Amino acid sequence: MTLTTSNTFVTQEAALALIELAIAQSQADGIFVSLSASETALSRFSENQISQNVRKNTFSLTVTSYFGKRSASASTTELERDAIAETLRRAEDLARIAPEDPEWVELLPKQTYSDRLPAFDEATANLSPLKKGEIIQQVCSLSQDAGVNGSGTLSFQVSLNAIGNSAGLRGCDRTTEADFSFTARVDNGSSWNRCTAWSIAHLPIIDLTEKVIKRAIASRNPQAIEPGDYTVVFEPSAFASLLPWVIWNLDARAADEGRSFMSRSDDAGKPIGNKVGEQLFSPMIQVQRHAAHPLLQGGRFFGDGLSNETLNIIQDGIPKTLAYSRYWAKEQGKEPTGAMYPIVMTGSDKTVADLIASTERGIFVSRAWYVRYVNPRTLEVTGMTRDGTFLIENGKISHPVKNLRFNQCLPEMLQNVVALSQAKRCGSSVIPGCKVENFHFSSITDSI
């Protein structure tokens, strides 16, 4: 059995059979097996022509063996029975001499997952290099006709994830994803955007290309403006680089131990719980974990086996829950939640143009780039605008401005949200455009 093309890509039945084989051969007290397989095809283009085609298949089977509270893992990239048996013995040998885990939890018992099937598009899974080439040629022709330098990627991925353990847990999902990103540059102007979907047919490639080209041309010869606090209108793709930082930091253990913006402390600075249930953000903020969202239709379980069911994270600006690992949930007498993704934020029926029209003076940000921590405890981050930043005056785009560095406390940003646009898929999240007041820019940058 090999992984060579989508026609011989490992099936769900074969994946579960390999897991059963590993479990049956185990000599440990307990065993957890995870299997992942993917086929990825990527085409790059630059200077208005295709520059690279890559197609690869990957496979990995990981075994974690348990002897009491001792455990160890080993992996293989081979499908043969002998390779799996060797991996099992290696994990068991290591587990026998491993130190006991002070945060050990028992194996997850059998779970009941949703009956829904994750999105799997055969046309995307079998997209030919010729078809991809034809799509990219259209994009490059549009760029060349407009006099801009176009570059980017078009890719698709077929993924399969399967899990099982000796306590009866079993799960297997397969998904498809298509991804297109495009950058247009002309003189000292630049613009970028990206779209993802579970089907290649759902990517608005030509529409996105035309919009990016138009914005790149409009972004030439930017003018400098003074740093400071501004009303900002974010494109969904720009806001999608900021919102996840807040959701990633909704970790229960970090909050309870005083290491998070969600921590509560007494006058002496000692942690006394968390801020779940408090009004921390604008009432407009509504966020869920929602793998079944029509634009996503992702997997039904996480890598540890916990169910990826819909979870209400923030309602009317109030955090409703934190992310509890199985260990911390047991310590705190809570139910484990699994991870806080995929992120789905509710938008409105307004367009980004509507948000701009409602702004007397502000800055329009197409992209937030290189976002990094300044202070994890307060969730202050820094980053830069990029690929098309514009001044808004009297409800209209006035002129391009030089890119700016921002230093912003993200919880405060969510307090200052005053309007939202329609939500769209951005990577593996669904995010609206956003209008924020008093967003802090600290300096001008030389980036394009």
Residue 329: both structure tokens together: 């949930």
Residue 8, pLDDT score: 52
Q: Are both 201 and 308 inside the same structural domain?
A: no
Q: Are both 262 and 336 inside the same structural domain?
A: yes
Q: Are both 133 and 24 inside the same structural domain?
A: yes
Q: Indicate the residue among 208, 242, 265 that finishes a domain.
A: 208
Which amino acid, 15?
Answer: A
Q: Are both 23 and 91 inside the same structural domain?
A: yes
User: What is the β-pairing status of strands 361-365 and 228-234?
Assistant: parallel
Residue 141: both structure tokens together: 């022709």
Q: Are both 196 and 247 inside the same structural domain?
A: no
The residues, ordered by sequence, that sit 6+ positions from 220 with a Cβ below 8 Å of its Cβ are 186, 187, 188, 189, 400
DSSP single-letter state for residue 91:
H
Q: Are both 152 and 294 inside the same structural domain?
A: no
Domain-embedded: residue 216: no
Rounded (10°) CA dihedral 324, 330, 331, 335: 40
**CA atoms of 172 and 116, how far apart (whole Å):** 12
Domain-embedded: residue 213: no
Rounded (10°) CA dihedral 206, 209, 213, 218: 100
Q: Are both 228 and 350 inside the same structural domain?
A: yes
Q: Indicate the residue among 208, 232, 253 that finishes a domain.
A: 208
- What are the CA-CA distances from residue 205 to residues 134, 212, 344, 446 (Å)? 12, 11, 23, 30
Domain-embedded: residue 1: no
**CA atoms of 143 and 147, how far apart (whole Å):** 6
- What is the residue range of 270's domain? 222-448
Helices (H), 258-409: 326-332, 352-357
Please tell me the total count of domains within the chain: 2
Residue 3, pLDDT score: 35
User: What is the β-pairing status of strands 149-165 and 343-345?
Assistant: unpaired
* Residue 319, φ and ψ in degrees, nearest 5: -60, 125
Sign of dihedral through CA atoms 13, 14, 19, 24? positive
Residue 277: both structure tokens together: 């249930």
Q: Are both 233 and 183 inside the same structural domain?
A: no
- What are the CA-CA distances from residue 166 to residues 27, 37, 66, 106, 341 (Å)? 11, 22, 10, 11, 27
**CA atoms of 127 and 282, how far apart (whole Å):** 43
Domain-embedded: residue 77: yes
Residues (pLDDT < 50) of the chain are 1-7
**CA atoms of 108 and 111, how far apart (whole Å):** 8
Q: Are both 240 and 100 inside the same structural domain?
A: no
**CA atoms of 266 and 247, how far apart (whole Å):** 25
Q: Are both 376 and 290 inside the same structural domain?
A: yes
Q: What is the pTM of this model?
A: 0.95
Residue 434: both structure tokens together: 């956003």
Residue with tokens 């409602």: 358
Q: Are both 188 and 227 inside the same structural domain?
A: no
Give me the CATH number covering residue 133: 3.30.2290.10
Domain-embedded: residue 214: no
DSSP single-letter state for residue 200:
G
**CA atoms of 376 and 261, how far apart (whole Å):** 8
Q: Indicate the residue among 163, 183, 208 that finishes a domain.
A: 208
| DSSP string for 281-296 | S-TT--EEE-TT-TTT
